[in-house]
Amino acid sequence: MADVIDEPTTDTPAPALTQAERYTFVVKVADRPGTLEIIGATFAHRGVSLSATVGCDGSLDPDGRATITLHFCSTPRRKEVLRATLARLNRVLSVREVPSGLVQAVALVRVAPDAGLPLTEAAVFPLPSPGREPVYRLIGTPEAVESAIRAWRTAGKLRSVSYGVLAAD
């Protein structure tokens, strides 16, 4: 799945993203094989890439239901079509949109030894990585975390990234 820090892969430049175009759904599902694939196909068939997904099998959830957090960019109309389509899937128990104030991004990044820290509103924590390239944990709004990642990437200092979006439903 593509993420928002990837370069566009078409001949048409991607429009600049705005806060109004970012959405996060928390989806409660029946935990069965293929559920995430069905949800991914629902997005793909509507021309929307998922920026990040995070799941929990239900063992930690208060209601014991599996939960999938979906972060994506789209038009408001497509977002509503996606919400309605997801709600009709037999494996989906509920779909809730989470306001941006209750959404946080988390990333683990490995950077070149001379990378330094980018200017960012995200909280940046160094992780132990003896004898290796520095590893940092970033936490903040998706925009803040992505801007730090983009800064390292643009400078040619980004070695690897793992990115997720969490939401308080």
Q: Regarding the domain with residue range 102-167, which homologous superfamily does it belong to in the CATH classification? A: ACT-like. Chain A, domain 2 (3.30.70.1150)
Q: Do domains 19-97 and 102-167 have the same CATH topology?
A: yes
CB 55 within 8 A of CB 66: yes
Mean of pLDDT over the chain: 87
pLDDT tens-digit map of 140-149: 999 999 999 9
Instruction: Report pLDDT for 59.
Output: 81
Instruction: Report pLDDT for 14.
Output: 46
Residues 6+ positions from 40 with CB-CB distance below 8 Å: 1, 50
Task: Give Cα separations from 146 to 6, 104, 134, 138 (angstroms).
Answer: 10, 11, 18, 9
Read off the tokens for 43: 């997005």
Tell me, what DSSP letter sits at residue 140? E
Instruction: Report pLDDT for 104.
Output: 97
Per-residue pLDDT at 67 exceeds 90: yes
Per-residue pLDDT at 64 exceeds 60: yes
Per-residue pLDDT at 121 exceeds 90: yes
Domain ranges of the chain: 19-97, 102-167
pLDDT tens-digit map of 87-98: 999 999 999 999
**In this predicted model, which residue has the larger pLDDT, 118 or 8?**
118
Instruction: Tell me if the domain spanning 19-97 has CATH number 3.30.70.260.
Output: yes
Per-residue pLDDT at 41 exceeds 50: yes
